[in-house]
């Protein structure tokens, strides 16, 4: 599994992010994509041992396209500068919480878990669960195994400035009820991505996050 080739290709793509270059280097793209597919296949097969809801998925079900989605494009560059996958029940585009990995050179590789920007109905149910079961929520987000793998804890970058509708600004859980995402993540430098045990480290992080992911999915399930 030549992750060095993958990083080199992505670094060159970042420096030449246009269709003419991609067309001239299509063979290398497919070679790099094959490396990431092999990596994803290993993660998917091994993660099913602790997350059976991923059973039956294939790499093509969970890998994201390298082409940018026009709806979210921030620049004229047509390609992402990383290769990523979202291992969630139902595949990468399903509405459930799950497990994520993206390889990008320059120390931008990240591993994450949870639900980023859930849809309004899901967000309302997560907030309701936090409001009803704050002890469970705090126990999970402060879990020692989770924080060992994701030392920064829950990402607080996506948050309302005021209380969400239906909640009092004086609610003791207001800091958490204002969140719009429920996600943990950590980055890895290139030298660690190249280590033979990098897949083990990804899986260890995901397994530590499994109770957190289950909490979110149970909260989002209509009952």
Average pLDDT of 2-18? 97
The whole-angstrom separation of Cα 139 and Cα 156 is 17
Residue 71 pLDDT greater than 90, yes or no? no
What tokens does 82 get? Answer: 């990383």
Residue 70 pLDDT greater than 60, yes or no? no
Query: Looking at residue 76, what is its pLDDT?
Result: 82
Query: Looking at residue 1, what is its pLDDT?
Result: 77
Query: Looking at residue 26, what is its pLDDT?
Result: 97
Query: Looking at residue 222, what is its pLDDT?
Result: 75
| Per-residue pLDDT tens over the stretch 127-185 | 999 999 999 999 999 999 999 999 999 999 999 999 999 999 999 999 999 999 999 99
Main-chain dihedrals φ then ψ at residue 73, nearest 5 degrees: -65, 130
- CATH 1.10.287 is right for the domain spanning 3-220: no
Average pLDDT of 61-84? 84
What tokens does 200 get? Answer: 């083990």
Query: Looking at residue 69, what is its pLDDT?
Result: 74
| Per-residue pLDDT tens over the stretch 185-200 | 999 999 999 999 999 9
| Per-residue pLDDT tens over the stretch 85-138 | 999 999 999 999 999 999 999 999 999 999 999 999 999 999 999 999 999 999
What tokens does 31 get? Answer: 């070679």
Query: Which of these ranges, 4-18, 32-46, 73-87, 169-183, has the smallest mean pLDDT?
Result: 73-87
The whole-angstrom separation of Cα 10 and Cα 103 is 9
The whole-angstrom separation of Cα 29 and Cα 31 is 5
Average pLDDT of 30-38? 98
Stated pTM of the model? 0.94
The whole-angstrom separation of Cα 26 and Cα 2 is 17
Residue 74 pLDDT greater than 70, yes or no? no
DSSP per-residue letters across the chain: --HHHHHHHHHHHHHS-SHHHHHHTHHHHHHHHHHHHHHHHHHHHHHTTT-GGGTT--HHHHBPPSBPPGGG-SSS--B-SSEEEEE-TT-TTSSS-EEEEEE-TTTTEEEEEEESS--HHHHHHHHHHHHH-HHHHHHHHT-HHHHHHSTT-S--SSB-SSPPTTS-TT-TTHHHHTBS-EEEEEEE-HHHHTSTTHHHHHHHHHHHHHHHHHHHHHHHS--
DSSP per-residue letters across 166-199: TS-TT-TTHHHHTBS-EEEEEEE-HHHHTSTTHH
């Amino acid at each position: 599994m030549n992750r060095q080739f993958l990083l080199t290709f992505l670094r060159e793509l970042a420096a030449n992010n246009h269709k003419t270059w991609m067309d001239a280097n299509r063979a290398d793209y497919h070679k790099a994509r094959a490396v990431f597919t092999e990596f994803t296949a290993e993660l998917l097969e091994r993660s099913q041992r602790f997350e059976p809801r991923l059973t039956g998925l294939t790499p093509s079900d969970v890998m994201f396209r390298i082409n940018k989605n026009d709806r979210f494009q921030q620049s004229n560059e047509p390609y992402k500068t990383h290769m990523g996958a979202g291992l969630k029940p139902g595949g990468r585009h399903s509405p459930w919480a799950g497990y994520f990995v993206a390889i990008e050179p320059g120390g931008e590789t990240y591993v994450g878990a949870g639900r980023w920007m859930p849809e309004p109905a899901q967000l309302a149910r997560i907030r309701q669960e936090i409001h009803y079961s704050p002890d469970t929520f705090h126990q999970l987000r402060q879990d020692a195994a989770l924080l060992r793998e994701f030392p920064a804890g829950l990402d607080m970058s996506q948050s309302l400035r005021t209380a969400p509708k239906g909640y009092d600004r004086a609610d003791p859980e207001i800091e958490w009820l204002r969140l719009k995402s429920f996600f943990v993540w950590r980055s890895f430098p290139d030298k660690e991505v190249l280590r033979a045990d990098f897949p083990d480290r990804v899986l260890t992080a995901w397994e530590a996050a499994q109770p957190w992911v289950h909490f979110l999915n149970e909260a989002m399930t209509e009952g």
